[in-house]
Structure 1
Amino acid sequence: MRTVSFGMNISLDGYCDHTFAIPDEALMDYFTEMMDDVDLFFFGRVMYQLMFPYWSDVAKDQSGSPAENKFAQRMSAIDRVVVSRTLDTGDEKTRIVHSNPAAELLKLKQQPGKKISVDTVSMLPELIAAGLIDEFNLVVHPVIVGKGRQLIPDGSLQEKLNLKLVNTVNFKSGCMALHYLKQ
C-alpha cells in the first residue's frame, strides 16, 4: 500500500496562507528533494490553482531561479488528482474528481506506486478521520500572521491524532521542516 504524505507551509501561529513567505534556494531544494519519492499529487481546487499553471509555466519558460526551475520541472512532471465541484478540466497530467475525496484517496492508496502527496487544507480533517494520512511534512516559517486559513480549524477533528517526530531540518532562513509519522 502506498504512503500518503501531507505537506504544508505554516506560520508559527498555525496559518497556511501562501502569501506570508517566499522560500529561499535551500527551501526550494528541500521541496524538490521531497518529490523524489512522490508520483502523485492530491490537491483541492484552491491549492491546484495556486500551483498551476504557475509552476508549469516556470518549467516551460525556465523563468525562475535555478532552484525554482528545478522545482518547477519536477512538480510539473508528476501526475495530479484534483478534487473540485467546479473544475471540469485540467492539463494533460491532471484528473478531476468531483466528489468523495476520502474514497478516491483510499482507492489511489491501494494502487502500486510511490508516495501520494496531499497538499490541501480543506479536506485534511476528512482525510485524517478516514485514517488516510500516514505522515506529515510541515515547514514552519518564522512569522506570526494572525489571520488566514488554519491548518486544522477548531472543532474539525473527531479525536486527537498522535504523531511521532522522525526528522527535523533547520534552515538558515529560520524555517524548520518537521517530519512526523502517524502513531
Structure 2
Amino acid sequence: MRKTIAVINLTLDGVSDHTAGIPDSELHQHYTALLNECGVILYGRTTYELMEYWREILEKPGDDSSMNSFAQAIHHIPKVVFSRTLRNCSDMWETAQVATRSLEDEVKALKKVANKDILVGSPSLIIQLLNLNLIDECQFCIHPVIAASGARLFDSVSRRTLLKLLKAKILGNGSVILYYEPVSNHSTG
C-alpha cells in the first residue's frame, strides 16, 4: 500500500513560507530524487499556482543544473490539486488534474493503488491529513532561519500528535531534514 508523505520546508520557528528557507543545489537534488521516487503529489491551489515558477525554468533552463532537474521532476510527476475555485488546471501542467473527491476520499483511494508513494506538498493539506490520521511519514526540512513572522505550519493541528524519528539528514547549508512517522494521537484534555 502507498504511503502518504508530508514534505515541507520550515524555519526554526515553524514558518512554512516558501521564501523563508535556504534553497540550494543540494536541497534541489534531494527533492528531485524524492519526486522521481513517488507516484503523485497533492497540492492546494495556492501552492500549485506557486509551482508555475518551475514551468519558467523548464521552458528556459538556467545555469543551475539542480534547478533544471527539479523543474523536470515537477513537470513529470502527476499532480492532484484541491481547489474550490479551479475547474481545470491542465493548462499550466498537463500532468495535473483538479480533485473530484474530498481530500480524505482521494487519499484513501490513492493509497489502495499498488504503486509509488503519495507526496503532500501544501501546508493546508498536510494539516488536514494530520487531523484525519492519513499521514504515514513526515519529512520536515528545517532551515537555520528564524523568520519571526509568517504562517506557522502547526497552528491548526486539532490534537497532540506524537512522532517517531526515523532518521535525519544534515545538509551542507545547515538545514536538517527530519523523517518522522506519526505513532499515535492523544487528546491533550
Same fold (TM over 0.5): yes
Q: Which residue of 2 aligns with 1:25?
A: 25
**Corresponding residue of 1:83:** 82
Task: Give me the identity figure in percent.
Answer: 32
Unpaired stretches in structure 1, ≥5 consecutive residues: none
Which amino acid in structure 1 is aligned with residue 39 of structure 2?
D
Instruction: Tell me the C-alpha RMSD between the 2 structures.
Output: 1.5
Q: How many residue pairs get matched?
A: 180
Which amino acid in structure 1 is aligned with residue 113 of structure 2? Answer: Q
Q: Distance between the aligned counterparts of 2:100 and 2:84, measured in 1?
A: 5
Output the CA distance in 1 between the equivalents of 2:147 and 2:153. 13
The one-letter code matched in structure 2 to 1:169 is K
SS in 2 for 1:19: coil
**Whole-Å Cα distance in 1 between the matches of residues 142 and 22 of structure 2?**
12
Contact residue 164 and residue 180 of structure 1 kept, 8 A = yes
In 2: Cα distance, 1:129 partner to 1:9 partner: 19
The residue type equivalent to 2:137 in the other structure is: E
Alignment-derived partner of residue 186 in structure 2 = none
| Unaligned segments of structure 2, at least 5 residues | 184-189
> Which amino acid in the other structure matches residue 141 of structure 1?
H
How far did 1:126 drift? 2.1
Instruction: Output the CA distance in 2 between the equivalents of 1:157 and 1:74.
Output: 30
For the 8 Å contact 1:58–1:64, the answer to whether it is kept is: no
Separation in structure 2 between the aligned mates of residue 63 and residue 22 of structure 1, nearest angstrom: 19
Q: Scaled by the length of structure 1, what TM-score is found? A: 0.92
> For 2:127 and 2:25, how far apart are their aligned partners in 1?
31
Partner residue, 1:101: 103
| Superposition map of 1:22-101 within 5 A | 22-51=22-51, 53-63=52-62, 65-91=64-90, 92-97=94-99, 100-101=102-103
